[in-house]
Amino acid sequence: MTIKNLIVFLAEDDEDDRWLFEQALENIKIKTELSMFKNGKELMDFLKKPDSIQPHIVFLDLNMPIKNGMECLKEMKQHDNLKSIPVAIYSTSSSEKDIENTFVNGANIYINKPNKFSALKKVIEKVLQLNWQYQTSNLNKENFLFRI
C-alpha cells in the first residue's frame, strides 16, 4: 500500500516566508507535495483550471499584492469545486478584525506566523494532522485561532 502525500498549497508573497515554510515542511514526518504561489491571483488562476490538482489544504497569507488572502477566501468559498478545501489563514496579523472576518468568511483555522523555526514546524505539523472533516463540523471561535 502506498502512502499518499498530502497536497499542500501556500499563497505567500514574501520569498523568505515561502522558503521557511518549505523548509519546515521538509523537516516534519508527514509526506507532502507543496505548490507555492506568489499572490492570490496565481493561486486562484491555478485552482480554477478545469484539470488542476486540488490540494488537501491551502495556507493563505492575508496581505498579498494583486489579490489578497481575504479575496481568495471569499472566492474559494463561493466556488462549488473549491468551497470544501480547508483553508488555513497564515498571517502576521493578529488583528481581531482580521481573525473575525476570516472566520465569518469560512476559513478553517487562523495561524499567526511563528517567529521561531521550531514553532513553525510544530504548527504546520499539527495543522496537517487535523482531521478536517471533524474539524469543520465542530468549527467554533475557540478552536479557530491556532496558537503554539
Q: Model confidence over 96-115: pLDDT tens digits?
A: 898 889 889 999 889 889 88
Look over the chain and give the mean of its residue pLDDT values, rounded to a whole number. Answer: 86
Task: Report the alpha-carbon distance of residue 23 to residue 123 in Å, rounded.
Answer: 13
C-alpha closest to that of 62 among 99, 34, 33, 96:
99
Residue the block writes with cell 519546515: 24
Distance of CA 24 to the CA centre of its chain: 14
Domain layout of the chain by residue ranges: 6-146
- pLDDT for position 75: 95
The residues facing 38 across adjacent strands are none
User: Which cell goes with 44?
Assistant: 486562484
Query: Which band of pLDDT confidence, cut at 50, 70 and 90, is reported for residue 144?
Result: low
Q: How many CA atoms lie within 13 A of 116 on its CB side?
A: 5
Q: SS3 of 77, please? A: helix
Which residue is associated with the grid cell 490538482? 53
Task: State whether residue 39 is helix, strand or coil.
Answer: coil
- What is the C-alpha to C-alpha distance for residues 5 and 30, in angstroms, rounded to an integer? 8
pTM: predicted TM-score of the whole model, two decimal places: 0.87
pLDDT at 92: 87
Average pLDDT over residues 86-92: 91
Residue pair 34/8 in contact (Cβ under 8 Å)? The answer is yes
Question: Residue 134 pLDDT > 90, yes or no?
Answer: no
- Which uninterrupted H or E stretch holds 121? helix 117-129
Top pLDDT among 64 and 4 is at 64
pLDDT per position as a tens digit, 46-75: 999 988 889 999 999 999 999 999 999 999
| Best CATH choice for the domain 6-146 from the list 3.30.70.360, 3.30.565.10, 3.40.50.2300, 3.40.50.620 | 3.40.50.2300
The mean pLDDT value for 75-83 works out to 92
